[in-house]
Structure 1
Amino acid sequence: MSELLIENDAGIVTLTMNRPEAKNALNLPMRAALRDAVQAIRHDRSVRAVVLKGAGKDFSAGGDVRGMNVEDAEAGRNRLDDLHGWIAQLVDLDRPVIAAVDGVAYGAGFSLALAADFVIATDRARFCMPFMKVGLVPDCAAFYTLPRVVGLARAKELIFTAQEIDAQRAQSLGIVLDVVPAEQLAARTAAVAGALAGASSAAFGLSKRALNLSLGSDLRTMLELEAATQGVAFSTAFHREAVQRFRDKAAPLFQWPAA
């Protein structure tokens, strides 16, 4: 069976990590499949949103420890460098990305969830950065994403202590958007993905990339970026139709909260 299942439902692409017997640990074939899928999505403008989830009762246990036969520093660096191209593309993808997390999201699995714009978790989800337990450092862009989500002090706590947190604590830290019973995860994720897929692709993509740049930029740079991106947004058909609908008191194109 394929390590990654791909389904496209009216422009909403669901990527399902498919090693439930190994808690969807990321072996080399799954990593290669995720790379190919992310790169394909990046170039496919018919894709309006992406859902990332795990098969069975877990999101992902992270890297496949059984396959970590790294002989020297160069091999270790190359192992991670092979990930960085598609991880960066996922973090910066100009379409909504929603992670549906059930069970464990450990290590690189936690990092993958952090690469999403929103995380919907079940009440039995568990998150952990266990790298200290095996003498490693966080990977899959966690040094970038985790401090931006929870702040530097909480990022240090989660990384240095390797503690497991439940869905409620993850929500209180800003990692998780919604916590739902397991049987409602698919429906809630579909509702959020569907609502976000209805947003202006230009406005969403421009806003996401500006936000990703904001913490490393100064005020003047962000104001210039704001002006340039707003100029593009003003020119879109979506904006013109949205304004006309407002004038006509018609239903808006984009609606939130997700039903």
Structure 2
Amino acid sequence: MDQVTPPAALAEAQYIRVSVQNGVATIMLARPDVRNAINDDMRAELIDAFDWADGSRDVRAVILTGEGKGFCSGGDVGGMRARLDAPAGSVAFNGWKRQKQTHRGVGVIYDMTKPVIAAVNGAAFGLGLDMALACDFIIAAEGAKMSMSFIKRGLVSDGGGMYFLPRRVGLARAKELILTGRIVEPAEALAMGMIDRVSTPDTLREDAQAWAEELSQGSPAAVALTLSILNQTFESSAADIFKLGREAQAICYTSAEHRASVEAFLNKSSS
């Protein structure tokens, strides 16, 4: 598949870089001077980029990564200062509105109908680690550092980490990581299941690209439905999952990819 040019609105984004190669969109956080800390404008651009990638027929998988030495250092401290400077009677409601946008930014990653890989190229702290955990898979470069650092700011993990992390490492380990905010390096993260693969800094993007291409070879309908059902597994009964599977399979029966696959197999068998 040839390289695809993203729409002009994304090409003109200030804090996000988007490129597509062989059906894989790379969405790069691009505030390297602050280790890609998330501010309101970056969050809005991130939402637009994932919405576009999810709807584009030219995109079959997504890589989320950071520009420069960091993946994402978390929420922008400047935004925290502005929040503290607001009138006392407005702090809670303003925070509620900001949290809604934060959750939209994480939700567009988690709800993608295509595989999403976080390529953690450096520090992933706080909200940055939450965003990585929202992805389907995580590959980290040697030397990257990860921390649920909210506790060090007197905060709780607000970007889904309290949901995603226990599903990867277990409840007790998640509590320990969140309550201490300690730094975890790739070897330990891999051993506990926080991440899925380790790469070198020089080959991280290449390895993530190859993995994304491998994961996205299946029928788009089958991939999307599979991801949707698997994301509900821990909250559902076996009967619920069987029901969702029946409904999804009925959709797959009508897909062009299923028909073409069956016809190709039958033609090969009869020749």
TM-score by length of 2: 0.86
CA distance in 1, matches of 2:238, 2:213: 34
| Mapping of residues 168-247 of structure 1, within 5 Å | 168-244=187-263
Indicate the residue corresponding to 1:153 in structure 2: 172
**Cα distance, 1:222–1:7 mapped onto 2, change above 3 Å:** same
SS of the equivalent of 2:184 reads strand
2-structure distance, mates of 1:217, 1:74: 33
Partner secondary structure for residue 241 of structure 2: helix
Corresponding residue number in structure 2 for 1:133:
152
1:82 maps to what in 2?
Answer: 101
- Percent of aligned positions that are identical: 38
For 1:161 and 1:97, the matched residues in 2 are separated by 28
Corresponding residue number in structure 2 for 1:16: 28
Partner of 2:56: 44
AA partner of residue 14 (structure 1)? T
Return the offset for 1:128: 0.4
Query: Is the 8 Å Cα contact of residues 26 and 64 (structure 2) preserved in structure 1?
Result: yes
> How far is 1:10 from its partner?
3.8
Once the two structures are overlaid, the 10-residue window that deviates more, 231-240 or 2-11, is 231-240
Whole-angstrom distance in 1 between the partners of 2:178 and 2:66: 23
Query: Which shows bigger deviation, 169-178 or 114-123?
Result: 169-178
Q: Which moved more, 1:204-213 or 1:62-71?
A: 62-71
Q: Distance in 2 between matches of 1:83 and 1:220?
A: 33
Structure 1-normalised TM-score?
Answer: 0.90
Give the CA RMSD over aligned residues.
1.7
Q: Is the 8 A contact 2:22 2:213 kept in 1?
A: no
Deviates further, 138-147 or 153-162: 138-147
* Aligned equivalent of 1:110: 129
In the alignment, is the contact (CA less than 8 A) between 1:146 and 1:155 conserved in 2?
yes
Larger Rg: 2
Deviation at 1:246, TM superposition (A): 5.3
Q: Name the counterpart of 2:9.
A: none
* CA distance in 2 between partners of 1:84 and 1:245 (Å): 44
Q: Aligned letter for 2:142?
A: D
Does the aligned pair in 2 maintain the 1:49–1:197 contact within 8 Å? Answer: yes
SS in 2 for 1:59: strand
Q: Which runs of 4+ in 1 moved over 3 A?
A: 240-249
Q: Distance in 2 between matches of 1:157 and 1:30?
A: 30
Unaligned runs of 5+ in 1: 250-259
1:166 to 181, 185, 190: 185
Corresponding position of 2:71: 59
What is the count of residue pairs matched by the alignment?
249
Aligned mates of 1:156, 1:241 — CA distance in 2: 48
Find the aligned partners of 2:192 and 2:54 in 1 and give their Cα distance: 30
Q: How far is 1:245 from its partner?
A: 5.2
